[in-house]
Amino acid sequence: MYGEIHGEKHMPNLNNFITDITTKEVARQNKYRVEVWGPGGSYGPDLDLRCESISFPGTNVRTVPDTLRYGPAREQGQGMTYGPFTATFICSPDLREKVWFESWQQLIVNHNTWEVNYYDSYRGEVKIYQIDNQNKDTYNIKVTEAFPKTISPQDLSWSSNDSYQTVAVEFTYRYWLPERLTPLSGDSLGRRRASGLGQGTQEQIKSDFLRGSKWG
């Protein structure tokens, strides 16, 4: 059973796969770090250390049907859309993490006058890093024009059995892009150490993608 990649036969090899899994590293969900930058380059209070969980945001190609031809309609790309993502932070006794995000939201909408500020005055940036077992960055993204849309409710309960308090923040943003690719050994895409995805002409992007698709 095999497929073809750019005219070349590609035969899956189970033994090579088992060897890779047992002798090389795999990405771990608990190996990451984050940077949360507020408006004007302000930095959150130890948020990088207190981020209990976060997600790499996804991407979606917005499509429209091509109905100008006979037969089943094709879906063709029209643009990109990006969904929000949520990060959860462990709180200090004075809830300074929650206060920092509340202050950021105050820069968006003044809670006394209900006036909305200019967009450029409240947008920030979030960086999310995947790290390896040696705590070295292997992949990271920059989330552009981000701001905290939602600060989730915080539960209080006598029956919580002394659980620590957290605050979950949902970020909205304009778009995100990988800043750099520094992958595992043997990865032909990674050996190129691309300076960034989405940079350069369409022909350069296509050429880089096709070269990187020939794994092995």
Cβ 169 vs Cβ 89: under 8 Å? yes
**Which DSSP helix (H) or strand (E) runs through 145?**
strand 137-151
Rounded distance, CA 195 to CA 189, Å? 12
CB atoms within 10 A of CB 170: 13
Model confidence pLDDT, tens digit, residues 17-63 = 888 888 888 899 999 999 999 999 888 888 999 999 999 999 999 99
Q: How much is the pTM?
A: 0.79
Instruction: Report how many domains make up the chain.
Output: 1
Collapse the DSSP code of 88 into the 3-class scheme (helix H, G, I; strand E, B; otherwise coil) and give the result: strand
Look at residue 70 in the predicted model and tell me its pLDDT.
84
Query: Is 128 a domain residue?
Result: yes
Query: Is 16 a domain residue?
Result: no
Half-sphere exposure of 201 (CA within 13 A, CB side): 3
- Give the range of the structural domain holding residue 153, as residue numbers without chain letter: 27-60+81-179
Model confidence pLDDT, tens digit, residues 94-142 = 999 999 999 999 999 999 999 999 999 999 999 999 999 999 999 999 9
Domain of residue 154, CATH code: 2.30.110
The proportion of the chain whose per-residue pLDDT surpasses 70, expressed as a percent, equals: 78
